[in-house]
Amino acid sequence: MTIGLGGTMLIIIHGWSDGASSFKSLARKLTSPGPDRLYSSEIRHLRLADYISLDDEIGYDDLVEAMQRAWIKEELPTAPRSVDVIIHSTGGLVVRHWLTNYFKPRTSPIKRLLMLAPANFGSPLAHTGRSLIGRAVKGWKGTRLFETGTKILKGLEIASPYSWSLAEKDIFAEEQYYGPGRILCTVLVGNIGYNGISALANKPGTDGTVRVSTANLNATKLDLDFTLAQESVAITGRRDHGSTAFGIADQEDHSSIAAKDGGPHRRSIWKLIREALKVEDSDFSKWQDTLTKHNQEVTQKAERRRGTHHDSYQNTVIRVIDNQGSSVQDYVIEFFVNDDSGRRNRHRTRLLQENVVANVHAWCDDASYRSFLVNCTELSKILDKESDDLNISITASPDIMNRPVGYRTYTDEDISTLCLDQNALRDLFKPNRTLLITMKIKRYQKDNVFQFKSIN
């Protein structure tokens, strides 16, 4: 949907299995007379611009190429920072891919980008979209019977290489796409699940569809080198991105935050939306600080509610490779407290496994990519002494003892352990964000894999 308003144009981009018509309510509230109005009610252009998201043959490359062609055909603004954009859900991946394909950070036509419940680092529901339920419920809406957009869903899946690669192109790139003088990006995401039968989709730390942590575009990326045998694990290649504004919309779900189903339910959310679409370069840093304070207040209230849904989580995505650069598909990441000896340490290690690592999901086509949903609220309770360390180790298969090639990870003497003291722990495990970790381990070959023999 596009709304041209004198010298300002606002473009609204929907998500997977949705359509532009779903956002008429949002457009009306932003443009009609009333307390929520942000733009003039004199609309010069109003277009419903749908994209196909339920065809199994369509991928993100197809979408962004078609988006660029449609953009040029409709003569939408192409001058730097000449248009504002609102996206919902998967629309965030589409617009970010489009930007990195066709524009440099200094030439982007977007000035303000408001992301409502974006799936920047995936959705825990994406892999269920290809299930029997997904095909029965969503498949009827596709251009082909029972199709749900397999290629799009694979990119939308938690821990997908697609979302990792996209992050490397925009938020971890040498030249920044976001921040004052570039794209002023604000992410807003709800923190409650759905009601009624749709509550089947609810997962801890989500708005019913996306995780609070995977919506946030501010993220960190680093490498862990476990190839140094008994030497300490090397932490290298760290990149931190914090150039976008991030806010948690308390008591809103994935639909209500986008003005669907009668939402947003709280007038304070409309204020956040309006501020995000008015912010200027000079006050963007202050806007970030305002949302950070807002999030602290929301989190304090939410964590007092019953159950773990409102706890604060980190989406920790781990990719394991060997020193040859090959993916390691079969591995286990082990978290333990101190040396895991003694009653207290062993009990807390058990609590880590049961209460802190809330979910582990391996990407469908490459199990070397896995998401570990870490409950930061519980983590701070379990490691409650300043002297407590969190240790992280890895065990991988095949084991060199039983195969001609493999890894040495099964005993403490085989591979080093990453030891995090309280300062490092607070630095690496932060609530409501994504941490991308590449772990590297050493692959070994027995002598009989290749031999030279003399002829007698």
CATH assignment of the domain containing 378:
2.60.40
231 domain residue, yes or no? no
Residues 169 and 43 placed together within one structural domain of the fold: yes
Query: What token pair was written down for 56?
Result: 């199994």
Residue type, 135: R
439: containing domain: 313-445
Q: How many helices (H) and strands (E) does the chain have?
A: 12, 18
- Burial status of residue 267 (CB atoms within 10 A of its CB: 0-12, 13-18, 19 or more): exposed
Q: Three-state SS for 131?
A: coil
Residues 380 and 403 placed together within one structural domain of the fold: yes
| Half-sphere exposure in the Cβ direction for 236 (13 Å, CA) | 8
Residues 284 and 332 placed together within one structural domain of the fold: no
CATH code at 145?
A: 3.40.50.1820
Query: What token pair was written down for 235?
Result: 């932490």
Residues 211 and 108 placed together within one structural domain of the fold: yes
234 domain residue, yes or no? no
Residues 295 and 428 placed together within one structural domain of the fold: no
Residues 411 and 273 placed together within one structural domain of the fold: no
Which of 250, 281, 303 finishes a domain?
303
Query: Can you tell me the distance from the alpha carbon of 431 to that of 412, in angstroms, rounded to the nearest whole number?
Result: 31
Residues 197 and 323 placed together within one structural domain of the fold: no
Query: Can you tell me the distance from the alpha carbon of 65 to that of 297, in angstroms, rounded to the nearest whole number?
Result: 42
Helix extents (H) in 57-121 = 60-73, 91-102
339 domain residue, yes or no? yes
Residues 89 and 164 placed together within one structural domain of the fold: yes
211 domain residue, yes or no? yes
Which of 303, 333, 357 finishes a domain?
303
176 domain residue, yes or no? yes
Q: Three-state SS for 139?
A: helix
Residues 194 and 324 placed together within one structural domain of the fold: no
Tokens 């617009």, located at residue: 95
170 domain residue, yes or no? yes
φ/ψ of residue 389, rounded to 5: -115, 145
Residues 355 and 394 placed together within one structural domain of the fold: yes
224 domain residue, yes or no? no
Total-model pTM? 0.93
Residue 426: DSSP 8-state:
H
Residues 168 and 41 placed together within one structural domain of the fold: yes
Are the C-beta atoms of residues 66 and 97 closer than 8 Å to each other?
Answer: no
pLDDT in tens, the chain (456 residues): 655 544 568 899 988 888 878 888 888 888 776 665 665 443 344 444 567 888 889 999 999 999 999 999 988 889 999 999 999 999 999 999 999 999 999 999 999 999 999 999 999 988 886 664 454 445 555 555 456 788 999 999 999 999 999 999 999 999 999 999 999 999 999 999 888 767 777 889 999 999 999 999 999 999 999 997 666 898 999 999 999 999 999 999 999 999 998 899 898 999 999 999 999 999 999 999 999 999 999 999 988 888 889 899 999 999 999 999 999 999 999 999 999 999 999 999 999 999 999 999 999 999 999 999 999 999 999 999 999 999 999 999 999 998 999 999 988 778 889 999 999 999 999 999 999 999 999 999 999 999 999 987
Where does 92-233 show beta strands of DSSP type E? 110-116, 184-190, 219-225
Which of 282, 303, 324 finishes a domain?
303
Are the C-beta atoms of residues 245 and 288 closer than 8 Å to each other?
Answer: yes
12 domain residue, yes or no? yes
Residues 184 and 290 placed together within one structural domain of the fold: yes
Domain count, the chain: 2
